[in-house]
């Protein structure tokens, strides 16, 4: 299964461990906790989308105008990139758009729509704790910005690196205003490219 995320990537990332800053799979676990399905005392959470434009839209959706200075903004000299990640097709992700899954989790659709992080983090921790038995590695659900986009969270085995050993980096491309994923995401949201 192919997933996409945006993050800052070092040009020599292949020589970095995946839990080091600027590796395409790196997540700053010390800054996690505010995400919908975060529980950084238990695991690292990697958020991604099933399409490139979904990943871009999730990153910049809060802004009404997308400017080059932000889309292509560097961090410590590293470019912001679109990263393609492959995970095995048999990776178990619970679909929060499936009424049976919601029922099994004692959740309602409104629990997914609302941004009640206390509730969603509680459910995520419960499901994560059952991972050795269920093999569930995360959730998939619809994007807040465009329900046709699917977003995903992958959980690590625990809070200690290395994380996301099931994921491999397939491609890393610096973002810019003419990147197809930027143009498409801006067009469908709609957002102004300025």
In sequence order, the β-bridge partners of residue 83 are 5, 172
Q: Is residue 103 part of a domain?
A: no
Q: Summarize pLDDT for 31-66 with one digit per residue, the tens.
A: 999 999 999 999 999 999 999 999 999 999 999 999
Q: Is the pLDDT of residue 140 over 90?
A: yes
Alpha helices in the chain (DSSP H): 52-60, 68-71, 99-104, 109-113, 117-129, 131-134, 180-188
Strands 80-86 and 136-142: unpaired
Q: Is residue 73 part of a domain?
A: yes
Q: Is residue 46 part of a domain?
A: yes
Q: Can you give the residue range of the structural domain that contains 179? A: 2-90+140-193
Of the candidates 33, 37, 62, 64, which has an alpha carbon nearest to the alpha carbon of residue 48?
37
Q: Is residue 106 part of a domain?
A: no
Counted domains in the chain: 1
Q: Summarize pLDDT for 65-79 with one digit per residue, the tens.
A: 999 999 999 999 999
In sequence order, the β-bridge partners of residue 131 are none
Q: Is residue 113 part of a domain?
A: no
């Amino acid at each position: 299964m192919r997933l996409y995320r945006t993050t800052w990537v070092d040009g020599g990332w292949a020589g970095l461990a995946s839990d080091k800053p600027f590796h395409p799979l790196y997540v700053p676990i010390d800054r996690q906790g505010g995400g919908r399905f975060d529980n950084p005392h238990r695991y690292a959470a990697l958020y991604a989308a099933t399409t490139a434009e979904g990943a871009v839209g999730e990153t910049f959706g809060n802004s009404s105008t997308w400017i080059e200075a932000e889309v292509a903004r560097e961090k410590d000299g590293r470019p912001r990139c679109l990263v393609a990640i492959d995970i095995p097709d048999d990776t178990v992700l619970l679909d929060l758009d499936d009424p049976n899954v919601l029922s099994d989790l004692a959740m309602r659709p409104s629990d997914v729509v609302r941004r009640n992080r206390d509730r969603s983090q509680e459910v995520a921790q419960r499901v994560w704790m059952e991972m050795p038995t269920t093999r569930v590695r995360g959730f998939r659900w619809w994007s807040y910005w465009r329900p046709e986009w699917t977003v995903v969270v992958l959980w690590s085995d625990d809070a200690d690196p290395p994380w996301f050993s099931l994921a491999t980096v397939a491609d890393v491309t610096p973002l810019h205003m003419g990147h197809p994923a930027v143009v498409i995401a801006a067009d469908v949201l709609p957002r102004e490219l300025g």
